Amino acid sequence: MRVALISDLHASEVALTAVLEDIERVGVDQIICLGDVATLGPHPGRIIHLLKDLKCPCIMGNHDAFLLDPGLIHTYTEAPIIVEAVDWCGGELSGDDLDFLRTFQPSLRIALDAQTTLLLFHGSPRSHMEDLLATTPADELERMLDGHRATLMAGGHTHIQMLRQHRGTLIVNPGSVGLPFKEYVAGQTPTLLHHAEYATIEAGRGAATVTLRRVALDKAALRAAAAASSNPLRGMLLQQYA
């Protein structure tokens, strides 16, 4: 069984379209979305419609939760530009779009074969706001896993691709489709990479192969999408895609 993991789409139709084309080329049995789908970027509504058409399982990210409970964002950040951008994105969504977000699951466990299990979440198994990094100390990571065990685990949230072994478990971060970061910034302004990121996991006969993938994007298309939007992050995106 081969699955594609997409995460942190952040309302970039340009990036998601390119990733879905690459997934079609690679060929998978299942696509799974790890959350943060419709905020910060220029096309929140279009992303929701693309996901609806995919009919794939979706995990609840912190930004998805912010759209459903606007007050929740203040427990995460007080940065005015981020709060304003999330509010703008919420205003672009319909009631049906928000109902779709309510179907997202906090976590999901699937069997890739008789011997291989995959646990999916957004930040960590205990919180969609936690940063699970390659540099997270092992004992701290163990607490974040909150007693959960699986052959593989996968989450997004940090916008940093990662593959890490922890006490026998492979932990995967597929990176960000819409806003991949050059480095971990702990809430500060990031430098964006000009590609889209996702991952594939292939399992069979008790063995698993993880591939971190990057898809080239058209910078002119990214700039045009940002320029046509009234999103409060428009200026930052145009600067990043210069």
Where residue 186 sits, what CATH number does that domain have? 3.60.21.10
80 Cβ neighbours under 8 A, 6+ residues apart: none
The amino acid sitting at 40 is L
Q: Is the pLDDT of residue 188 over 90?
A: no
Q: What pLDDT, in 10s, does the model give residues 212-225?
A: 999 999 999 999 99
* Mean pLDDT for the stretch of residues 173-177: 98
Q: How many domains does the chain have?
A: 1
Q: Is the pLDDT of residue 24 over 90?
A: yes
* Mean pLDDT for the stretch of residues 87-94: 98
* Mean pLDDT for the stretch of residues 158-172: 97
Can you tell me the distance from the alpha carbon of 228 to that of 13, in angstroms, rounded to the nearest whole number? Answer: 13
* pLDDT at res. 31: 98
Mean pLDDT of the chain: 97
Range(s) of the domain holding residue 149? 2-240
CA distances to 14, 22, 229 from 233, rounded to whole Å, are 16, 27, 9
pTM for the model stands at 0.97
> For the chain, what is the HEC assignment?
CEEEEECCCCCCHHHHHHHHHHHHHHCCCEEEECCCCCCCCCCHHHHHHHHHHHCCCEECCHHHHHHHCHHHHHHCCCCHHHHHHHHHHHHCCCHHHHHHHCCCECCEEEEEECCEEEEECCCECCECCCCCCCCCCHHHHHHHHCCCCCCEEECCCCCCCEEEEECCEEEEECCCCCCCECCCCCCCCCCECCEEEEEEEEEECCEEEEEEEEEECCHHHHHHHHHCCCCCCHHHHHHHCC
Q: Is the pLDDT of residue 73 over 90?
A: yes
Q: Is the pLDDT of residue 206 over 90?
A: no
* pLDDT at res. 199: 98
* Mean pLDDT for the stretch of residues 69-96: 97
Can you tell me the distance from the alpha carbon of 222 to that of 126, in angstroms, rounded to the nearest whole number? Answer: 34
* pLDDT at res. 145: 97
| % residues pLDDT > 70 (the chain) | 100
* pLDDT at res. 170: 97
* pLDDT at res. 187: 82
